[in-house]
Amino acid sequence: MRWKRGNRLKLVSESAAPGPTREIFREVRESLGVPAVPKLYQAYAALPEFLELHWRAFRPALQSRQFFLLGARLAAESYTRAHNYFDVPSLHPPEADPQAPDLSISQVLDYYQYLDPLLLLISAAQMQAFEGPVGQPQEIPEPAYHPEFALSPSLLSDGRVGVGLQPAWQERQRALDPGLISDEHCALASWPEFYSEYWAALWDLLQSPVYADCQYRLADSALNMASELPVRVETSISQLLDGGLDDEQITAVVRINEASLQALTGVVLDVTFARIGLETTGKHGPHQGPTSDPAAQQTGSPVRAA
């Protein structure tokens, strides 16, 4: 497999995955408490030898409570930065619609505010794990405890998006290096009137150096937090070579991970922007950021010990 910046990522769906990959996908879903396989792992699965090595190294980290607390810290940092540095207008919530998706827009934002920082942390830790061991091993890490989501957000496909939203999708696709529309935007576009208002406000912000700086600082925080994982994580180049990957495949997976890291900092901020816009009545209106403990977040879904 060969992949260069600007190319469209190859994604492996759960239905099309071979048996061993499907088993890893199942464990990923159960470890994160979500019903759908994140695109980060669908992209990793294009190189099944890498996916196997990655998951063998990372699975113990995802079984620790510290991993989810670090994700919540990233979510809180994103909220703080967006609230302090972005001029977020008040966004009108969608009107009640019997044809609307199963999840409300608030539940959709809950889902991604929980999941995306975790994926950002995984991508950041993986970037460092290419170079050597990451983490501070504990003798007995505290077991994971996190929300469980019974439903994933409905995603609006390219074929169903209205003409008025097409320019927004194309612009966001160009900004996200992997060359695909994020699930977050596909989900929010299920409410066209809201999405049009949201995109108009977000588009102006995307052109500013403030947004780029917040992306950079969020990535830097994720890279630093990776060192706090309570287990030793490593997928070094020598390990990848021993695992059957050649030089070209290793180069490809490093580029995929770099692009995913960059894209995830963007979608984390995009979702935070939408959340603040729905919560506030103005720049200095009432607001409430994510809690410090993901197990305490209100998701509308059962919470259990993993």
Q: What is the pLDDT of residues 118-159, one digit of tens each?
A: 999 999 999 999 999 999 988 888 999 899 999 999 987 655
Domain ranges of the chain: 19-305
- In this structure, the number of other CB atoms found within 10 A of the CB of residue 82 comes to 25
User: What does DSSP assign to residue 153?
Assistant: P
Q: Is 50 exceeded by the pLDDT of residue 290? A: no
Would you state the pLDDT for residue 163?
54
Give the whole-angstrom CA distance, residue 175 versus residue 130: 26
Q: What's the predicted TM-score (pTM) here?
A: 0.87
Would you state the pLDDT for residue 98?
62
Q: What is the pLDDT of residues 171-225, one digit of tens each?
A: 666 666 555 668 898 899 888 889 889 988 998 898 899 999 999 999 999 999 9
pLDDT, averaged across the chain: 85
Which residue from 58, 68, 71 is spatially nearest to 234, judged by alpha carbons?
Answer: 58
